[in-house]
Structure 1
Amino acid sequence: MSGRRERLLVVCPGRGTYHQTEWGSLLRHAAGSDWLVRFDTLRREAGLPTLSELDGEIPFRQSLHGRGEHAAPLIHACALADLLAIDPERHEIVAVTGNSMGWYIALGAGGALAHEEAFTLIGGMGQMMQEALVGGQLLYPWVDEQWRPQWALRRELLAMIERLHGEEGRALYLSIDLGGMLVFGGNEAGLAALAEALPPRERFPMRLHQHAAFHTPLQQGVRDLARRRFAELSFRAPRVPLIDGRGHVWTPWSSDPPALWDYTLGEQLVAPYDFTAALRVGVREFAPDRILIPGPGATLGGATGQALIQLGWRGLESKADFQARQEEDPPLICMGLEAQRERVVA
């Protein structure tokens, strides 16, 4: 790779990536930075514990740190600390995408929003989602143990939610197409019926703690509130291409900022988020040398690996293939893992 910079596709993490093991990682990488001081000031002015307090002074409690108004800004700040640490002499970010809430982080990372505007949006959306907490999410895999696609099982799962939806007051929808997993969103009646109907498999079906039915029609109330609250939020054309939850590319030279605002605070909130499509467009359109996931944690790495196997990217056919490649010369860098982080920082 000497003589040219490595091309990176950045994949920003969503909710559910900051846990006990990630507690303290923000201060380890960003303590004393100007931007974290500003973020903490904004939190203090809003009467909320600062990110520095949550990451350092306040012992980790899932019931507290997992709440939307705390989890979302913590994840954003951890990701930002990692992105700002990438060595620009050796690496070029060619496109940015994300999973679910990671779309908001991508907006800041790609320059469509200033970092403080992205922080305001992320904190505000986290708080609104938490206060409404309409419905929930349930996770279930459709790949085998070697992460190979089982297309018949996928069809069965999607047919199952179609069948259960609407009966006895049940609401069930596809929420996120997440590599080798499907995330379903619904109301309590719908999720209970689905959990009973799904065959148990290791730790699945898995209910996601303190998650609402994101990316489903159940979020229409939150969408309407968000459009009023963030009516003046000033989007701009991004500095680098952004890939949204449909696989649509927003380029620096052809993006319409009002349309970007409309998607982010409209369709994106109430329609399924296709992470796999975003990744497919990222690797096929931008031909990255590596895919990079900023922290916190590395939980998005599995779903990303599963999606790459579905795409047959660089001949990947199974989990064993993927793991062997990761050992040798990792095509996927998870900055939440210190050894991998060191490969890309200045």
Structure 2
Amino acid sequence: MTRKTAVVICPGRGTYNATELGYLARHFPDPALLARFDTLRDGQESLRDLDGAASFQLSRHGRGDNASALIFAASYGDFLSLDLDVVAVTGNSMGWYTALACAGAVTPEDGFHIANTMGRLMTKAPGGQLIHPHMGEDWRPDPARKAGLLSSVTEIASRPGHALALSIDLGGFLVLAGNDAGLKAFETATPPEGRFPMRLANHAAFHTALMAPIAAEGQSLLPESLFQTPRLPLIDGRGQTWWPGAQTPAQLRAYTLGTQVTEPYDFTAAIRTAAREFAPDVFVLTGPGTTLGGATLQSLILSNWRGLSSKAEAQAANPLLSMALPDQRPLAGAQS
């Protein structure tokens, strides 16, 4: 029987929460590899202790140095558990580091080292993030609304002492990042919609120019020797594909530790490329968490994938497998 083709999507920060506590104990398939990951966290709390804690603490588990390591390990463990024909790999934001390992552009240990190092550096990064929708509850595209929100961002960023920019184009949401003055100005200028605009806890001004010092420090700590040409096609945060053998390790490092740290991450474009260039049977969302599912379906709507134009149509056609859901995990070939 021919196996289904799949594009693997690795999640970013904010996906390991209270319901994910114990995810590694339940699902990680290679205890020896997990032990090697913990060895790389010299002087830091072990993944086993974090994952095995009696209760979830946002100040502990959600902090950059811990969250990045937990999410990388959970996501990469799910990738190892897959039994599908993976045709390409992508990710959202921090998920790019996991995608590198899944695609073979770094070893699992080096990918973990990169994610752990950048997560540790992010604990001292400036600014913050908030998230706000540009689609309605029916998920129908509204380009004018999106343009209006981005116009407001540009106007606020022009004010003295205000930093604000697009951080992640996330399906039907805009993730914005900046300093406190910029974020507060957007919150004041934007009519509330339920819980939005919503600040994201333990997040810095990721994917903006404010991260330039973090990018420079990461480059000083993470050499080119960690990188190699990928074995699988790898779709980045611009929607561009890194084909096996087509780029150099130096180019991959420059993007990973430079461009994607300081420039906006376009998850919507990544999914558009995945759908149009690779046309998989399924899109597999690795754990932890399930929150990226909505953004992926919204991105497929915005890409006009198979003519989808609304939430009802996308959910009816649902091409996603979420490995964090017990009933869907076996469909991806995972045994646990």
TM-score range, shorter chain: over 0.9
In the aligned structure 1, how far is the partner of 2:225 from the partner of 2:121? 16
Q: Which runs of 4+ in 1 moved over 3 A?
A: none
Q: How does 1:72-221 map to 2 (within 5 A)?
A: 72-87=68-83, 91-130=84-123, 132-221=124-213
In the aligned structure 1, how far is the partner of 2:274 from the partner of 2:30? 34
Tell me, yes or no, if structure 1 residue 12 matches structure 2 residue 5: no
Structure 2: 5+ residue runs without aligned partners? none
* 1:259 alignment counterpart: 251
Please tell me whether the aligned partners of residues 308 and 314 of structure 2 are also in contact (alpha carbons under 8 angstroms): yes
Please tell me whether the aligned partners of residues 21 and 53 of structure 2 are also in contact (alpha carbons under 8 angstroms): no
* 1:34 alignment counterpart: 32
In the aligned structure 2, how far is the partner of 1:86 from the partner of 1:233? 28
TM-score, normalising length: structure 1: 0.94
Please tell me whether the aligned partners of residues 141 and 182 of structure 1 are also in contact (alpha carbons under 8 angstroms): yes
TM-score, normalising length: structure 2: 0.97
Please tell me whether the aligned partners of residues 117 and 233 of structure 1 are also in contact (alpha carbons under 8 angstroms): no
Q: State which of 250, 264, 273 in structure 1 corresponds to 2:265.
A: 273
In the aligned structure 2, how far is the partner of 1:320 from the partner of 1:199? 26
In the aligned structure 1, how far is the partner of 2:12 from the partner of 2:151? 27
Tell me, yes or no, if structure 1 residue 318 matches structure 2 residue 304: no
Please tell me whether the aligned partners of residues 309 and 317 of structure 1 are also in contact (alpha carbons under 8 angstroms): yes
| Matched AA of 1:111 | G
* 2:287 alignment counterpart: 295
Structure 1 156/163 Cα, relative in aligned 2: closer, same or farther at 3 Å? same
In the aligned structure 2, how far is the partner of 1:57 from the partner of 1:199? 39
Partner of 2:260, secondary structure, is helix
| Residue identity (%) | 50
In the aligned structure 1, how far is the partner of 2:152 from the partner of 2:165? 10
Please tell me whether the aligned partners of residues 29 and 81 of structure 2 are also in contact (alpha carbons under 8 angstroms): no
Partner of 1:84, secondary structure, is helix
| Matched AA of 2:36 | R
In the aligned structure 1, how far is the partner of 2:87 from the partner of 2:265? 22
- Residues 283-328 of structure 1, C-alpha deviations (whole Å, 9 max, x = no match): 11111111011000100001001111111212322111122233xx
